[in-house]
Amino acid sequence: MARKLVRAAIAIFCSVVGFYLGHLASSTFFIIYNNKMKMALMAFPALILGLIGFIVAPRLIEWVLQMTVWTEGKLQKMPIQDLLGGAIGLIIGLIIATLLGNSFSPIPIIGPYLPIVASVLLGYIGMSVGIKKKEDLLSIFSFFKFGSKEKVAKLEAKPKPKILDTSVIIDGRIADICKTGFVEGPLVIPNFVLEELRHIADSADVLKRNRGRRGLDILNKIRKELNIIVQISDKDFEDIPEVDSKLVKLAQIMDGYVVTNDFNLNKVAELQGVRVLNINELANAIKPVVLPGEEMSVQIIKDGKEAGQGVAYLDDGTMIVVENGRKVIGETVNVLVTSVLQTAAGRMIFAKLKSDERKNTNEVEGVG
């Protein structure tokens, strides 16, 4: 019913426009003394345009509805800071356009059209600049609202949401980190991550099933035992198939951090300007510092890739490659650190047996 009324309104509007154009044409280009002829000349374009409007109206209505849905979807996905910044910039641009348009409107021929051009151009520029400078604009308004820089600083210091990905939930260390109080909430768990965890927990593969169930247990532990805010996000992006891309998009919308230990997700998020909290990087950062020349006691457990090398591990999993360590596999020996290599995957320590150092020293003394 509503579509029929809108269609009729469009047809009537087109008929009125046609009638006005017919009247304008008959008054400007023709001198007609016969009123019937004049009415016919005005009625003909009104009838033609009304018929065109009636035929085109359904497609026009459908296009307007599609544009409305598309615009609404874009606005819902846009962060509130972007909306406010764009609105403020648009208002400022339109005010400047009005002042300039009124100043140049007396110009002959093009004067009446300059306000329209200025409004479109400056409105777009103002909206674009407002979105890019949203933080500065909102900080100004916050300053006037709250009356002091200290309160504005407190407002800006509000903890940003931390969005958990599947790998970091299954890993489990996030629960211990939250327990220490080093991570402030809220923790955000998207529904599409929960769905992925459920699929893993229902997998036919025993290892995957155990990993999925461990992830669900970790989530229950965080929600029930830890004093931290946990939110379940219903936002989904049906046009994006990959979970990692959805996480990055959600972090952009919520202006939050992605918490992960996935190296590839870390790089993708950084390329798109999203901050990442990588659990593996945190673990590497808090490992004890080892300097060349330090002595440590380790157990050689296997041989290395190069001839004669032995491999040992520290309690935190750091691998130690020991020169000539193959001959003492299974033994606990003292070694001297020669160098430390930091890689994207972690840290690797190179060392040599302390007994070899003493042997070399004794040989030098014997030669002397």
> Residue holding tokens 């409107």?
105
Identify the pLDDT of residue 287: 75
Identify the pLDDT of residue 152: 45
Tokens of 129: 């600049």
Same-domain status, 301 and 349: yes
In a domain, 93, yes or no: yes
Same-domain status, 357 and 316: yes
In a domain, 24, yes or no: yes
Bridge partners, 104 (sequence order): none
Identify the pLDDT of residue 146: 45
Identify the pLDDT of residue 131: 79
d(CA 80, CA 255): 10
Identify the pLDDT of residue 357: 53
- In 3D space, the residue among 134, 156, 119, 142 whose CA is nearest the CA of residue 87 turns out to be 134
In a domain, 348, yes or no: yes
Same-domain status, 166 and 275: yes
Same-domain status, 314 and 237: no
Whichever domain contains 231, its CATH number is 3.40.50.1010
Identify the pLDDT of residue 27: 65
- Are 167 and 261 contacting, i.e. CB atoms less than 8 angstroms apart? yes
Which residue, of 285, 309, 331, is where some domain finishes? 285
Identify the pLDDT of residue 365: 46
In a domain, 290, yes or no: no
> Residue holding tokens 């909206």?
127
Whichever domain contains 352, its CATH number is 2.40.50.140
Domain count, the chain: 4
Same-domain status, 281 and 354: no
- In 3D space, the residue among 227, 218, 164 whose CA is nearest the CA of residue 190 turns out to be 164
Same-domain status, 141 and 228: no
Identify the pLDDT of residue 34: 58
pLDDT of the chain, 368 residues: tens digit per residue: 777 788 888 888 888 887 777 777 666 655 555 566 667 667 777 788 888 888 888 888 888 888 888 777 777 767 777 778 888 888 888 888 888 877 777 777 777 777 888 888 888 888 888 877 777 776 666 555 444 445 445 544 567 889 998 888 998 888 888 888 888 778 899 988 899 899 999 988 888 899 889 999 998 888 888 888 888 888 888 888 888 888 888 888 888 899 988 888 888 888 888 888 888 888 777 777 788 888 989 999 988 888 889 999 987 778 899 998 888 898 899 999 999 887 666 678 999 988 765 455 455 445 44
Bridge partners, 347 (sequence order): 342
Same-domain status, 281 and 300: no
Which residue, of 138, 158, 178, is where some domain finishes? 158
d(CA 165, CA 161): 13
- In 3D space, the residue among 223, 227, 217 whose CA is nearest the CA of residue 179 turns out to be 227
In a domain, 204, yes or no: yes
Domain limits at 363? 295-367
CB atoms within 10 A of CB 83: 15
Which residue, of 285, 313, 334, is where some domain finishes? 285
Same-domain status, 131 and 184: no
d(CA 223, CA 6): 52
- In 3D space, the residue among 193, 182, 135, 189 whose CA is nearest the CA of residue 159 turns out to be 182
Identify the pLDDT of residue 98: 84
